[in-house]
A and B are shown apart, each in its own frame.
Chain A
């Protein structure tokens, strides 16, 4: 109870740290409740919470489509030659 009352008087920064920890495995019903309560009456923190949950969803959606997010980057001709040389060298090794 004492902890809960202390949580109620925490500044926004503390709540947002707790929110992030709750997203990453920190398990505490009291903390979860305190963060939810705070984000209900603090508009800035409520907006921040929604935005980072959306960002998480976006980052997780990238998955195997990384090429698009990395633009049109391609291997340079030098890098391609170097990699090819090393692959041929590995191929000619007896234990491969």
Chain B
């Protein structure tokens, strides 16, 4: 099974957030703040200007062009994996066939949702909502797109809806990431990051890595994981994620920081670290 290297899809940041004042910055790292910080400024996100190799990554125009190419690759990959074609669906056919959708794409949709919602019941619900919405909007299916790509597009919206509802229900409560804090009381490393023995992108090619990543994501508290899923897996801008989760930029930054700390530590202990313990995910 092949991975589409979506990381190559360059995207210009749509963030419009100015630097906080000194007082606000002191609240970066706290969950207290709802300070107003949104003012126009258009700059690429940090990683897009300075990646590991110090490269200035592609411009927005070049990025979107490459994104288009990669979408074709994605479709080809999906088709190759499923044996489906990019042929039309309902055009010329008697009508929508949800039973066939479920038989053909049900498991793939379920796994897509499970990675993002981290709960079987919620993932099943999202698949059902997706197929019901597809049934109601079958006229939006254009024969230029593959059936599964269309269904996944709908499923993404259902997952966002689910995360929005869950965030409202949860309120502002903040759960702590399990395990010892990586920094001591003075703010210095308690245990320094280890040298990794494999590049994460290379690990994605390994089948055994999937369950490890899944379990490490499952260990993150819901509010923190939702922020990470929307920001990284769904590749949404910070502004969009703030609107969905109804949190201030400072709260989002804090959640994403904790998510990265937790996920990095868990993956280091269970896969990437030189002293890894593959037998469990105790991180």
- What residues of chain A have their CB less than 8 Å away from a CB belonging to chain B? 3, 6, 10-14, 16-28, 30-32, 36, 43-45, 47-48, 50-71, 73-75, 79-80, 82-84, 86-88, 90-91, 96
Partner of A86, one of B5, B128, B256: B128
Is A21 touching B253 in the complex (CB atoms < 8 A)? yes
Distance between B276 CB and nearest chain A CB, rounded to angstroms: 14
Distance between B129 CB and nearest chain A CB, rounded to angstroms: 10
In the complex, which residues of chain A have a beta carbon less than 8 angstroms from the beta carbon of B203?
A: 58
A70-B114 contact in complex given A53-B51, A90-B135, C-beta closer than 8 Å: yes
Is A83 touching B102 in the complex (CB atoms < 8 A)? yes
A45 to B, closest residue via Cβ: B189
In the complex, which residues of chain A have a beta carbon less than 8 angstroms from the beta carbon of B136?
A: 90, 96
Closest 5 CB pairs of A and B: A11-B187, A25-B15, A28-B19, A63-B6, A58-B200
In the complex, which residues of chain B have a beta carbon less than 8 angstroms from the beta carbon of A16?
A: 257, 261
Partner of B4, one of A44, A63, A80, A96: A63
Partner of A24, one of B3, B15, B210: B15
Partner of A55, one of B18, B43, B238, B264: B264
Partner of B127, one of A22, A47, A75: A75
Distance between A17 CB and nearest chain B CB, rounded to angstroms: 4
Partner of B135, one of A28, A59, A67, A96: A96
In the complex, which residues of chain A have a beta carbon less than 8 angstroms from the beta carbon of B187?
A: 10-14
Is A86 touching B132 in the complex (CB atoms < 8 A)? yes
Give the interface segment out of B160-168, B170-178, B228-236.
Answer: B228-236
- What residues of chain B have their CB less than 8 Å away from a CB belonging to chain A? 1-7, 9, 13, 15-20, 22, 25, 28-29, 41, 43, 45-47, 50-52, 74, 77-78, 98-99, 102, 106-108, 110-112, 114-116, 120, 124, 127-128, 131-132, 135-136, 149, 152, 183, 186-189, 192-193, 195-196, 199-201, 203-204, 207, 209-211, 213-214, 228, 231-233, 235, 237-239, 249, 252-254, 256-257, 260-261, 263-264, 267-268, 272
CA distance A57 to B52 in the complex (A): 11
CA distance A36 to B196 in the complex (A): 21
Is B124 touching A79 in the complex (CB atoms < 8 A)? yes
Is A67 touching B107 in the complex (CB atoms < 8 A)? yes
30 cross-chain CB contacts under 8 A: A12-B189, A13-B183, A14-B29, A20-B260, A25-B239, A26-B19, A28-B20, A51-B268, A55-B200, A56-B47, A60-B233, A61-B7, A64-B152, A65-B204, A66-B111, A67-B108, A67-B111, A68-B1, A69-B209, A70-B111, A74-B110, A82-B128, A83-B102, A83-B124, A87-B132, A88-B98, A90-B136, A91-B135, A96-B135, A96-B136
16 additional A-B residue pairs with CB within 8 Å, beyond A60-B7, A71-B214: A13-B29, A27-B43, A32-B46, A51-B196, A61-B6, A62-B115, A64-B4, A66-B115, A66-B116, A67-B108, A69-B115, A69-B213, A74-B107, A74-B110, A79-B110, A87-B132
A71-B50 contact in complex given A55-B264, A83-B124, C-beta closer than 8 Å: no
Is A58 touching B201 in the complex (CB atoms < 8 A)? yes
CA distance A14 to B271 in the complex (A): 27
Is A25 touching B17 in the complex (CB atoms < 8 A)? yes
Is A27 touching B200 in the complex (CB atoms < 8 A)? no
Partner of A75, one of B3, B17, B124, B257: B124
